[in-house]
A and B are shown apart, each in its own frame.
Chain A
Amino acid sequence: MDASIFLIQCLNALQHGLLLFLVASGLTLIFGIMGIINLAHGSFYMIGAYMAFALGPLVDRWAGGGFAATLLLCVLLAALLGYLLEAAFFSYLYRRNHLQQVLMTYGLILVFEEVRSLLVGNDVHGVPMPAWLSGTIPLGGVMTYPVYRLFISAVGIGVALLLYWVITRTRLGMMVRAGASNREMIGSLGIDINRLYRIVFAAGVALAALAGTIAAPVSSVYPGMGHGVLIVCFVVVVIGGIGSIRGAFLAAMLVGAVETFGQVLFPAAAGVLVYLLMAAILLCKPEGLFKQG
């Protein structure tokens, strides 16, 4: 592997990792702060992608809209969906045990897949790329690198910085951090924990849907697309330390690098490498890279 190929692979790893981070950050927030094992999180990624497919043409027709408007609409709708779901279902789960949470969120996966099947069908669909991002940059002679993938990386970095700022610098972030370390205590300090949960959950859903929406033009949309993402994201969350955004970021980068280079250097073991990584890290640090916060 010469230097230029190595650099391109690093770019691939970065982009893959950032996309994982977008999904995993929402998962870790919900898991760490609300204590809910949300198996349906992959479905929110799928919903984001299908919204990009279904709403894109509508936005074009009715709002003369374009890509940015579609993105915004998808994220807002997803946040609304998250808010309603929290009120209708998840708010009843906080005092239940993990098995019941798993049962309900698994049930939600089935419901979302069936609704998707009824509304859009089971075919694979492509989602057009916005014209202003569809160019390519020549890299290393034979290969070109799609601008859109750089855009995904940019969005990922932007969201990571924004989350970092919100969590460390704002009042909301303070409550989130407090909620992550001691739920009962912030309730007794007079903070409306239900409202906080609802906001966190809506934000988590919006992040997953954002990932799905921006991934749709390069990944196309297909049934069951959320399952694979969900499993890797749980690995990311566990490696990073449950509830830690910083941990999720670092873990997503690690997993992105291991998957990217593993596929090329150890193709026979590519399927198990991330799990080996997880096992190794949990051996040294049973609570993940970072404790909550």
Chain B
Amino acid sequence: MHHVLNRALLAGALALAAGTATAADKIKVGFMLPYSGTYAALGAAIENGFKLYVAEQGGKLGGRELEYFKVDDESNPAKASENANRLIKRDQVDVLVGTVHSGVAMALAKAAKGSDTTLFVTNAGADAITGPMCGPGIFRTSFSNWQPGYAMGPAAAAKGHKTAVTITWKYAAGEEQMKGFHEGFEKAGGKIVKDLTLPFPNVEFQSLLTEIASLKPDMVFAFFAGGGAVKFVQDYHASGLGKTIPLYGTGFLTDGTLKAQGDAAQGLLTTLHYADGLGTPRDQAFRAAYSKAYDNMQPDVYAVQGYDAAQLMQAGLQAVQGDIDDKAKFRAAMRGATIDSPRGKFTLSAAGNPVQDIYLRQVAGLENKMIEVAVPKLADPARGCKL
């Protein structure tokens, strides 16, 4: 009897010791983000956002300190598996945070799934990540390409547009957003006259603009980003089409490009899950804290996505009191969480994608001002996901 009790005590003490040992260790967070190249600023914003939330919690999530490991993914899909494995195998991180480029994110998701590591996707919109490739440990705090595309459908139909022409690069992100728009616009009674595409990253739009002039639709819906977005908006303006055929797009058409686009972008309407001038106390507090922490830099949608990844992680860690090795409970808590994001509150779908309000925004000066909620609580259909 005595013997058995002693043993039980000993086992209990050992278990306790083990428990405290894990709680005292730092949680390893692996950032796989673009720190160089075209998307370097986006990668920095995501990391800044993440660390801002951690700093607001006193430097701890779930009562445990964090240790960061960083890999520059260079937005290079060819190196993505190797880079992901450096974090997973060499650094043995507990969670992965990344990335911007969809091709890289797909490889990252595959590696995370293979090693059963929890992943927070902080920008890449590829539908497949929370579609056919979804998994219990895959979470996304940004958007699926389908979402902003779909939301413009009813918003444009409400403006009285019956026919539309779409134009984008012939690659995954463009085609997925157009698919969303097709669905939303046709459901609202509209008709797509023609889908125009050009090879990525070609920026010679003049012939397609002429084609639009000959088709004379009620509206044009476009997806371009970065340099292509600047040039397309300028060319559209110069072609004079805007006077009779208004241009709409997903938010990427006018995000981070307004200075270069100048007058050509003024008044354009776009859809995205974040906007300037939301005016909520939550957003204002976030913006003030961000610009204070990072010498007067204004946060953007990427910073919000990074910030929310940390919030989501906190929700999971609180449910397991910091014991991140209890993966099932950690992940279940995150899937059930409501995130009080600067963009507005959102929850996650079964596939791990945000169920969120998509805003209709209008360009005014150097801001994408919120006009209204285009579609409230929009959930990605998560086609092909078996969760």
Seen from chain A, the residues whose Cβ lies within 8 Å of a Cβ on chain B are 1-2, 5, 8-9, 12-13, 15-16, 122-126, 128, 136, 138, 140-146, 148-149, 218-220, 222-225, 228, 259-261, 263-264, 267, 270-271
Contact = CB atoms under 8 A, between A and B. Distances in A.
Contacts of B239: 143-146
Interface stretch (B122-130, B144-152, B199-207): B199-207
A143 B209 contact: yes
Contacts of A138: 240
A14 to B, nearest CB: 11
Contacts of B230: 124, 126, 220, 222
Given A5-B211, A12-B210, 14 more contacts: A5-B210, A16-B206, A123-B41, A123-B260, A124-B230, A143-B209, A146-B238, A146-B239, A220-B234, A261-B207, A263-B198, A263-B204, A264-B207, A267-B196
A5 B245 CA distance: 17
B336 interface: no
A5 B227 contact: no
B345 to A, nearest CB: 33
Among B37, B203, B240, the one with the most A-chain Cβ atoms within 10 Å of its Cβ is: B240
B41 A136 contact: no
Interface string B235-255: 100111100110000000000
Nearest to A122: B38
A270 B205 CA distance: 13
Nearest to B227: A222
Interface in B88-102: none
Given A142-B245, A271-B170, A260 B206 contact: yes
B231 interface: yes
A103 B352 CA distance: 46
Nearest to B262: A126
Contacts of B202: 228, 271
Contacts of B229: 124
A64 to B, nearest CB: 23
Majority secondary structure of chain B interface residues (helix, strand, loop or mixed): helix
A6 to B, nearest CB: 9
A222 B196 contact: no
Contacts of B231: 218-220
A264 B170 contact: no
Interface in B357-373: none
Contact of B213 (A143, A149, A260): A143
A184 B206 CA distance: 45
A8 B214 CA distance: 10
A12 B206 contact: yes
A285 B204 CA distance: 29
B214 A1 contact: yes
A71 B257 CA distance: 25
Contacts of A225: 227
B63 interface: no
B40 A124 contact: no
B286 to A, nearest CB: 24
A140 B214 CA distance: 9
A5 B38 contact: no
B342 to A, nearest CB: 24
Given A16-B206, A149-B206, A263-B198, A122 B227 contact: no
Contacts of A125: 259-260
A225 B230 CA distance: 13
Chain A to chain B: the 9 pairs with minimum beta-carbon distance, closest first: A222-B227, A144-B240, A271-B199, A126-B260, A143-B213, A260-B207, A5-B214, A12-B206, A146-B238
A174 to B, nearest CB: 36
B168 to A, nearest CB: 11
19 contacts: A5-B210, A8-B210, A13-B207, A122-B41, A124-B226, A124-B227, A124-B229, A126-B261, A142-B244, A218-B235, A228-B201, A228-B203, A260-B204, A260-B207, A263-B198, A264-B208, A267-B196, A267-B198, A271-B199
A260 B207 CA distance: 5
A143 B240 contact: yes
Contacts of A122: 37-38, 40-41
Interface string B156-171: 0000000000000010
A27 to B, nearest CB: 18
B246 to A, nearest CB: 13
Contact of B260 (A9, A124, A218, A261): A124
Contacts of A12: 206-207, 210
Contacts of B28: none
